[in-house]
Amino acid sequence: MPETMSSSEHTYLTPELLARYDIAGPRYTSYPTADRFVEAFGESDYIDALEQRHNSRPGHVLPLSIYVHVPFCQSLCYYCACNKIITKHRERGTEYLRYLQREIDLHVTRLGRGQVVSQLHFGGGTPTFLDDAELGQLMGMIRGAFELAEGGEYSVEVDPRTVDEARLQNLFDLGFNRLSFGVQDFDPDVQKAVHRIQPAEQVFALVEASRRIGFKSVNVDLIYGLPQQTAASFARTLKQVNELRPDRIALYAYAHLPERFKAQRRIDAYTLPSGGEKIEMLSQSLKAFGDAGYVYVGMDHFALPDDALAIAKRQGRLHRNFQGYSTQPDCDLIGLGVSAIGRIGATYSQNAKTLEEYYDAVERGHFPVVRGLALTRDDLIRRAVIMAIMCQGEIAYESINLAWLIDFKEYFARELELLKQKEEEGMVRITDTGITVTEQGWYFVRGVAMLFDKYLQADRTRVKFSKII
């Protein structure tokens, strides 16, 4: 697998090289990607998948992961592309919990009580829109239906504006061991432009409190390419983040798609940095985090060398799911709540995207699944290859041949031909026994994985995806 690049080696990731790979492509939190889900896949297909899991022989059942989507936010962040509902009516959270309980009960009916869960994530929206009592109620609902494994990864997304040290202590007492703070940028002008004011001092105090309390890992989300951002202003944010020294950093490129996301229409496109400025911000981010000792885990993830994510990268144990890179083994995933995505066996599913549809289905005793996909054998083979590239940075032909009873070189003859250009560009090494992503290529790993995406190669329209760097 590709080795960690030292800070001095970042010098050959020039703005020119970054600009060459400034193209759109999937993030591969799944394969096939969610844009391939179809409405022909519905509740009955989801029930079949659950029944198949329930009837599987012991030892053949994947571990279980749970994602809970809490869609509510008190105020609108103009850059946001998440499924969210802006409201100041706190009672809406109480109502939502009633329907989540019913959805959980539907799963218990099909799977039985006490399924072991090794990974749990609360996302949104803003999960901390719920007050401490409601968060306790939600965790009680989950613990009443499932068994949370000792040593599992239990994380929650936190808007710093919604918590204090007492609330963080409550999250820890509920069983969460990882936090993710949405920071985006420390610059006051940028915060004002995106309608998200949160002083740096507030974030520093919360991260320090998180360490005192005992959370295993604290992540900070950043976005480059926001309105009013400049290379100089973002350099100041990077300096502050390195002083903050979170265990993990997620660095995302802002994609301005106002025709798809209504909130973004409040952003003046003339205040956005140019493509060249965004490339410069990315380049300086890679150098700043590298110089500060962070390991580049992959794509937009960085971690301190002693963080579990960096250790998993070194040991070849990295995995990938709908929340991004993970230390947890391949899991079946139950998605709870409006718009939540799940994966059971060889299927993907997604819940209704509006509260009205979601409530109506659950009220009638139905799973709120409105679309999804049953994977073909070719999908499964390609998923195995793409995840090997995205997580380990290498493919051993023999392991794929034995697992899927194919001849890799024959099955992927076209893809291997396309890979030759990537080899000439120094992104991969191709041998008689396999393919290895180079240190340089690891920064553009999505561009390598894309060559094995049958759907993408057939449909070159990529505007629906974010840039691969």
Q: Residues comprising the binding site for S-adenosyl-L-methionine?
A: 67, 79-81, 124-126, 157, 184, 196, 221, 255, 341
Annotated binding residues: 67, 73, 77, 79-81, 124-126, 157, 184, 196, 221, 255, 341
Radius of gyration in angstroms for the set of CA atoms belonging to the chain, rounded to a whole number: 22
**Cα–Cα dist 45/39, whole Å:** 11
Which residue has tokens 């009955």?
Answer: 44
- The amino acid at residue 459 is D
Annotated binding residues for [4Fe-4S] cluster: 73, 77, 80
